[in-house]
Structure 1
Amino acid sequence: MTEAPFRPREKLIEKQKYYQSIHRHTYLKGPLDKITSVTIPLALAAASMYMIGRGIYNMSHGIGKKE
């Protein structure tokens, strides 16, 4: 017994041609890949650098100490 294909062969060939024609890195080939591969990590890095900087500032000035 054979199983029906998950996606029609024509659609698969069309998608393969599209992705093979793009001359970018593999992880940036999709339409929304810039958001997940670039923007989110940059936002997390910026937020963590801000929090580290704020913590260092607070420690050096003695702000927020528990008595």
Structure 2
Amino acid sequence: MTSTATEVPFRPREKLLDKQRFFQNVHKHTYLKGPMDKITSVAIPLGLVAACTALIAQGIYNMSHGVGKKE
């Protein structure tokens, strides 16, 4: 049995070609090519680093001054 039905593409071919042209002409690192990639590749990791650094500093302070102990 052969089927003659073809699947409908997710995006029109013209939009796909436009996206390909856009990404091929952008001269940035691969992980920063999209418009929202700066948030996921830069801002979120920097936020995690800041939060971890603050928690580590708080832990070192608590250990050196002997505060925050459980009895």
Q: Same fold (TM over 0.5)?
A: yes
Which letter maps to 1:20? Q
Match of 1:52 among 39, 56, 69: 56
% of aligned pairs identical?
A: 69
Which letter maps to 1:13? L
Instruction: Provide the residue aligned with 1:33 in structure 2.
Output: 37
1:7 and 2:23 correspond: no
Runs of 4 or more above 4 Å deviation: none
Which letter maps to 2:18? E
**How many equivalent pairs are there?**
67
Q: Residues 2-53 of structure 1: CA distance to partner in whole angstroms, max 9, x if unpaired?
A: 1111111111101100111100011100000000000000100110011001
Q: Distance in 1 between matches of 2:69 and 2:19?
A: 58
Which secondary structure state, in structure 2, belongs to the residue aligned with residue 6 of structure 1?
coil
Q: Distance in 1 between matches of 2:70 and 2:44?
A: 34
Gaps of 5+ in 2: none
Q: Which has the larger radius of gyration?
A: 2
Instruction: Provide the residue aligned with 1:24 in structure 2.
Output: 28
Gaps of 5+ in 1: none
What's the offset of the Cα at 1:62?
0.5
